[in-house]
Amino acid sequence: MDRRGSATGFGALRIAYGATLFGLALARLKAPQIGWYDPFTLVLITSAIILSILMIVGIWPRFSTFASVLLLVWVDALGPSSRTFPLIVLLCVGCILLIAPGIDALSLLRARLQWKHWRKSGTLLAPRRMPAWPLHLLTTLFTVLYLTAAWRILRGAALWPGAFPLDTPILHGGVVLLAIGWTVMLGCTTFPPHAWNERLHGFLFGANAIVACALLFAGSAPLLSLILLIGTLGLLTQTDIDALRARCSRYQRGPITVFFDGACGLCRRSIFSIALLDSLHRVQTVDFRNETLRKEFAPDLSPASLDRSLHLRTPDGRIFTGFDAFRFLSRHLPALWIVAPFLSIPGIPTIGRMVYAGIAERRKRCTHEECKI
């Protein structure tokens, strides 16, 4: 197993952590013990909401993470004492995020760097890697949490301080098994990488997500269960990400080829957005202005036809154009899965084709720097 961690995993952890802080801040705002006549409290919670949004989108990721973790300590004083232990764990995860390099992955800051590289080379930057020590810190935290839960199970107490007792032997067995597994995994960090280390890591990754979801739905310790679930993202290595990508695309018979006009500023930015959202690596882009590439990938399509609208060729040879090409792509880009069903609602395709036709007629006004449609 690769000893280096994945900046992508920690970027996803930053987003999930910010979303958790956002939910906590909103919950504090609606709490009955929070008075609307206390300006300091309102400013504090509003600041936490704004900073959590900045953290999610990745604007000044290091600063927003630091400020969010700092505000978490103050917001903690506004909540019930039964939540102290989960918030301490949440604070520990925030501190790991704060000192970890590479948390700007999946951020607007990283997107700007990707755009600069794309304009020069037509390719995206390689996935950012980071040292393994943040991953080891997160592994240590999980080990301590599960060992604590296992010890409390043996004593007949609730899993964690402040949690509701659960009389579920299967769930208790899963927690004890994970306590043993994380302890072994933590010890494995001192040994050279081996295939069984990778299998153990994959097992713990999946088992942790299942147990965290079970605890979350059981309602024993909702906040702590949510922390365990989002913390799983930070445990992702590049090997895990590649394996998940291969599993999701195992039925894909080949790449989806998208043809674009390299002389059009709007087209280049649109294709860059598609490449950025192509987390499953299912799409390949071809500039049809390059005659060699056009003859290789689209010998049956004329330059005039390609110039009229976006063209897409599926692995089985089907051609989609314009809005229909975008609708097809939305089913293969995870970030667009949420909007894909709405693009097939009766009436939407007709409107979409009209809007696309209007934009396509005016796209020549766009340059690489500005676009006046």
Whether 272 has a pLDDT exceeding 70, the answer reads yes
Specify the pLDDT at position 16: 92
Residues forming beta bridges with residue 260, ordered by sequence position: 287
Output the six-digit token pair for 371: 């676009």
Q: What is the pLDDT of residues 87-115, one digit of tens each?
A: 788 888 888 988 888 788 888 888 889 98
Structure-block tokens of residue 166:
């659960």
Query: Measuring CA to CA, how many Å separate 350 from each of 93, 293, 322, 342?
Result: 48, 32, 12, 13
Q: What integer is the mean pLDDT of 234-244?
A: 81
What pLDDT does residue 82 have? 46
Confidence of residue 15 (pLDDT cuts 50, 70, 90): very high
- Mean pLDDT taken over the chain: 81
Higher pLDDT, 24 or 160: 24
pLDDT in tens, 153-186: 888 777 777 666 666 777 778 888 888 888 887 7
User: What radius of gyration, in Å, describes the C-alpha atoms of the chain?
Assistant: 24
Q: What six digits make up the tokens of 368?
A: 């690489």
Tell me what the mean pLDDT of segment 180-203 comes to: 68
How far is it, in rounded angstroms, from Cα 207 to Cα 219?
A: 18
Domain edges within the chain: 5-243, 256-365
Position 258 scores a pLDDT of 92
Q: 10 Å Cβ neighbour count for 35?
A: 9
pTM of the predicted protein model:
0.82
